[in-house]
Amino acid sequence: MRSQDGRWTSWGAMAGVSRRARGPRRRQGALAALLLFGAVSLIPLAACGDGAGGYSDAGLADGAWPDGQVDAAWPPPREELAPPESYDCNAVGSPPERVSTLALGCFGDLGCEGLVVVAHRGLGYLAPQNTLSAMRAAVVMGVDMMELDVRLSSDGVPVVIHNAEVDATTDGTGEVVSKTLAELQALHVTYHEELVGDFSCERIPTFREALQLARGRIDLMVDLKQGAAEAALVIEEEGMVAQAVMLGSLSELEEARAAVADLRIMIRPGEQAEIQPLWDAFVPAPDVVHIDPGFDDPPTIELIHGLGAKVLMDLWTADANALILGDISQYSDAYEAGIDIGQCELAFLALWSVGRGAPP
């Protein structure tokens, strides 16, 4: 059943979502491109803390909520999604247990059914990006996997931060690689004032700290910026080879595999013709192939599945439609078209779209 404006599938229908015969993915036109641009402009305001505004200005049309809740705030208020003390600094000594109904390591198991939802840099809608609070928030909300970025400090310690400089997400300045671990962890993480909770304890985490928190709770997609061998060795030392997959360039992945032979890896071809050569470069074979919109067609998806890997795609356009139009259907559309793993900003909405959870 659809809402009055035809955009929102009912919760009953979403709870029954299953993968249908794989077919062409619905193409998005100029409107979707505009929505994506708008969402990418808005989402970091809640995640990064270096802008103004936020989600609260977006509205959902009358009739778009089930059960007559036509005036519900959209997106849902943060404090109604989960108690902040379950993931913020109050939870440091008692981290949440896994809520996701998918098995750990599902991202690399073709026999594991279900859309694997990846929270980009953690659940930035609830907590500062790439922090332990953002990971705990993802766990609390039932997210399957968290993407995080790894760089090296000047003394060679892998740390979790996206940008090459610390300016955007901390109260410091300068390049990550120019600072020791002690100097990096002396900085305070900054974040948008609309986030609800106590994040005063947050610093740039080490990759080891992130792995220790993730163990048994959430899988990790490691987007490598620096330190391939160093990051791979920490994954092995922490017993997290089965729970983490590394994304990097060909040379970075070769370096990582030279350090840890059975490291799980993800390749990212620029076009279909690059898939087989990249695949053949690794033994054991990659676990995941990251494709981009534009060659997410059935033959490409079938090729990757035939090789024995899962398909990951960024679902930024689905985020845009959810944020601006209140339409969460594109997350489940991607899964029904053959995408196995979806990386997004609003991961809890992707879960709702495939019947895993519902609004408070």
d(C-alpha 211, C-alpha 226), whole Å? 17
Encoded tokens for 308 = 């024995």
Encoded tokens for 111 = 């026999």
- Residue 333 three-state SS: helix
* CA nearest to 183, candidates 144, 225, 155: 155
d(C-alpha 234, C-alpha 252), whole Å? 15
Length of the chain: 360
Q: Are 100 and 30 in contact (CB under 8 A)?
A: no
Q: Which residues make Cβ contacts (< 8 Å) with residue 35, sequence separation at least 6?
A: 317, 320, 321, 323, 324, 325
- Whole-number CA gyration radius for the chain: 20
d(C-alpha 238, C-alpha 234), whole Å? 6
Sign of CA dihedral 159, 162, 165, 170: negative
d(C-alpha 170, C-alpha 74), whole Å? 29
Beta bridge partners of 165: 175
Q: Are 118 and 124 in contact (CB under 8 A)?
A: no
Among all residues, which ones are annotated catalytic?
A: 120, 162
Sign of CA dihedral 272, 108, 346, 358: positive
